[in-house]
Structure 1
Amino acid sequence: MATLEIDACSRWFGNVVAVNDITMSIGPGITGLLGPNGAGKSTLIHMLAGFLPPSTGTVTLDGSTIWKHQDVYRVMGIVPEREATYDFLTGRQFVLANAELHGVPEPGAAAQRALGTVGMQDAQNRKVGEYSKGMKQRVKMASALVHDPDVLLLDEPFNGMDPRQRLHLIGLLRTMGAEGRTVLFSSHILEEVEQVANRIEVVIAGRYAASGDYREIRRLMIDRPHQYTIASSDDRVLASALVADGSTAGVNLEGGTLRVHASEFLRFSELLPRVARDAGVRLYEVSPTDESLESVFSYLVEN
Structure 2
Amino acid sequence: MSVIRIDKVSRWYGNVVAVNDVSMTIGPGVTGLLGPNGAGKSTLITMMAGFLPPSVGAVTLDGTPVWRNEGAYRHIGLVPETEAAYDTLTGYRFVLANASLQGLDDPGAATSAALGLVEMQEPAGRRISTYSKGMKQRIKMAAALVHEPSVLLLDEPFNGMDPRQRLHLMELLRKMGADGRTVLFSSHILEEVQQVATQIEVVVSGRHAASGDYRAIRTLMTDRPVLYRLRSSDNRRLASALIGDPCTSGLDLDGTALQVQVIDFERFSRLVPGLARELGIRLLEVAPTDESLESVFSYLVGRR
Q: TM-score range by the shorter chain?
A: over 0.9
Q: Is 1:33 the equivalent of 2:37?
A: no
CA displacement, residues 275-302 of structure 1 (integer Å, 9 cap, x when unaligned): 4444444444322111111111111112
Distance change >3 Å, CA 62–CA 278, structure 1 → 2: farther
Name whichever of 65-74 and 139-148 sits farther off: 65-74
* Contact 2:50–2:73 under 8 Å retained in 1: no
Q: CA deviation at 1:115?
A: 0.7
Report the equivalent of 2:157: 157
CA displacement, residues 234-273 of structure 1 (integer Å, 9 cap, x when unaligned): 4344333323421011222221112111012333234334
Matches within 5 A, 1:101-140: 101-140=101-140
Q: CA deviation at 1:219?
A: 2.1
Secondary structure, in 3 states, of the residue corresponding to 2:124? coil
Matches within 5 A, 1:203-218: 203-218=203-218
Q: CA deviation at 1:105?
A: 2.7
Report the equivalent of 2:227: 227
* Contact 1:133–1:159 under 8 Å retained in 2: yes
Report the equivalent of 2:10: 10
Report the equivalent of 2:82: 82
CA RMSD of aligned residues (A): 1.6
* Contact 1:32–1:197 under 8 Å retained in 2: yes
Distance 1:76 1:117 in 2: 17
* Contact 1:8–1:57 under 8 Å retained in 2: yes
* Contact 1:222–1:264 under 8 Å retained in 2: no
* Contact 1:219–1:265 under 8 Å retained in 2: no
CA displacement, residues 15-34 of structure 1 (integer Å, 9 cap, x when unaligned): 11111101111111111111
Name whichever of 234-243 and 170-179 sits farther off: 234-243
Secondary structure, in 3 states, of the residue corresponding to 1:290? coil
- Amino acid corresponding to residue 7 of structure 2 in structure 1: D
Q: Is 1:294 the equivalent of 2:294?
A: yes
Q: CA deviation at 1:206?
A: 0.9
Q: Is 1:259 the equivalent of 2:273?
A: no
Q: Is 1:93 the equivalent of 2:93?
A: yes
Q: CA deviation at 1:88?
A: 1.1
Q: CA deviation at 1:117?
A: 0.8
Secondary structure, in 3 states, of the residue corresponding to 1:173? helix
Distance 2:104 2:145 in 1: 11
Distance change >3 Å, CA 272–CA 128, structure 1 → 2: same
* Contact 2:225–2:262 under 8 Å retained in 1: yes
- Amino acid corresponding to residue 212 of structure 2 in structure 1: G
Distance 2:55 2:269 in 1: 46
Q: CA deviation at 1:180?
A: 1.7
**Gapped runs of 5+ residues in structure 1?**
none
TM-score (norm 2): 0.94
Distance 1:283 1:88 in 2: 64
TM-score (norm 1): 0.94
Name whichever of 184-193 and 248-257 sits farther off: 248-257
- Amino acid corresponding to residue 72 of structure 1 in structure 2: A
- Amino acid corresponding to residue 245 of structure 1 in structure 2: D
Q: CA deviation at 1:114?
A: 0.9
Distance 2:254 2:206 in 1: 42
Secondary structure, in 3 states, of the residue corresponding to 2:202? strand
Distance change >3 Å, CA 233–CA 109, structure 1 → 2: farther
Name whichever of 153-162 and 211-220 sits farther off: 211-220
* Contact 1:232–1:285 under 8 Å retained in 2: yes
Distance change >3 Å, CA 146–CA 278, structure 1 → 2: farther
* Contact 1:241–1:279 under 8 Å retained in 2: no
Name whichever of 264-273 and 134-143 sits farther off: 264-273
Distance 1:178 1:232 in 2: 42
Secondary structure, in 3 states, of the residue corresponding to 1:2? coil
Report the equivalent of 2:23: 23
Secondary structure, in 3 states, of the residue corresponding to 1:10? strand
Q: Is 1:187 the equivalent of 2:192?
A: no
